[in-house]
Structure 1
């Protein structure tokens, strides 16, 4: 008996184990999560293109708003840094879901804008200190953080689609108890990925950079 058949039997019997509910939630949202990842990829391409054209977005944004896009966190302890990252990423996570209140425009813009920033800043850093440095600096926590944000956006897009179905009369209710249950589990799983990402970015990434690029970090520090 495959997993899908077992889940169908669980639903028909009135039981809905968390594992089956989470699998159903992923089946329901995976297409929308993929759409969010596609928007992010488009943003990355745009960000790299802006770099090639000579536009450094961090400098431009700093000149416009009068302060850096990313605050100085060098004086924080590792634990404080992890807490800071988790709080900020949790806000972005929640906003991606609540983007339904803007008909998904805020969520879509967040995916594209974050992609543009990552593509642009990553390309500039890679050009100055090397691709290896940027990969080590981004990948360890990015493999957890980005899927989490895509999940949040996917939940927002899927909820918006369910609203559209209800308005067209093809769905009886926008949300049901089972929908809230399984989607809540998916949202929780995504947020736990953010917890892992914050810990990795605060504790693992700096250690890897120091171990692999100690000379480069020393030269960068002496030049500032």
Structure 2
């Protein structure tokens, strides 16, 4: 039963994220000037604080940043999923904006080179963390109705988080810091 819940939560989280990614890309397309201003604001407040020329330090910064976001996605389930949904929604919109901006400015090859290498690890990590958050929310509801033990479920979910999400985030951070820039350079020539 638990594995089926995780699969459903993963599919829901992935669908919800991509819905808002598409929304972000379409919103950017409707008003590119405002979209560019938004991407600039995002860059200044989100990306620039973690960027460095030292690839190892960048990997550490990326891992910390992505782990914080993933933990919030997971424990956001304790708010009956409201925080988890909000984070998925805002991240989907931001990714949509940035992808659309990059598509217009640099083209599809750079978009693909910039997202696929580390995205194959990072996106499943985020979506799994969100799915775990939604299952946590569901277990809290069950406990309120006298049909479950949310604390025990949170412990099981936490183990899955540590064994699944953290390794994916490590792989994503290393790939994004060391490999993704090289691939972007190759396709930008």
Scaled by the length of structure 2, the TM-score of the pair is 0.88
State the alpha-carbon separation in 1 of the partners of residues 145 and 154 from structure 2. Answer: 21
Structure 2 segments unaligned to the other structure (5+ residues): none
The CA deviation at 1:69 is 3.6
Displacement of 1:74 after TM fit?
5.2
Aligned pairs (5 A) from 1:196-215: 196-213=171-188, 215=189
Match of 1:128 among 81, 99, 105: 105
In 1, the alpha carbon distance for the partners of 2:148 and 2:2 equals: 19
Q: Tell me which residue corresponds to 2:118.
A: 141
Instruction: Flag the structure with higher helix content.
Output: 2
Q: Deviations over 1:80-139 (max 9, x none)?
A: 110010000010011111113332111101111111111111111111211111111111
Match of 1:174 in 2: 150
- Relative to structure 1, the CA distance from residue 44 to residue 106 in structure 2 (aligned partners, 3 Å threshold; closer, same or farther) is same
Q: Deviations over 1:49-101 (max 9, x none)?
A: 111211444623756x9x44421655431101100100000100111111133
Aligned length: 186
Uncovered stretches (5+) of structure 1, i.e. residues with no partner = 1-23, 216-224
- Structure-2 residue corresponding to 1:185: 159
Greater gyration radius: 1
Q: Aligned partners of 1:163, 1:75: CA distance in 2, in Å?
A: 41
Q: Is the 8 A contact 2:80 2:140 kept in 1?
A: no
SS in 2 for 1:71: helix
Specify the SS of the correspondent of 2:150: coil
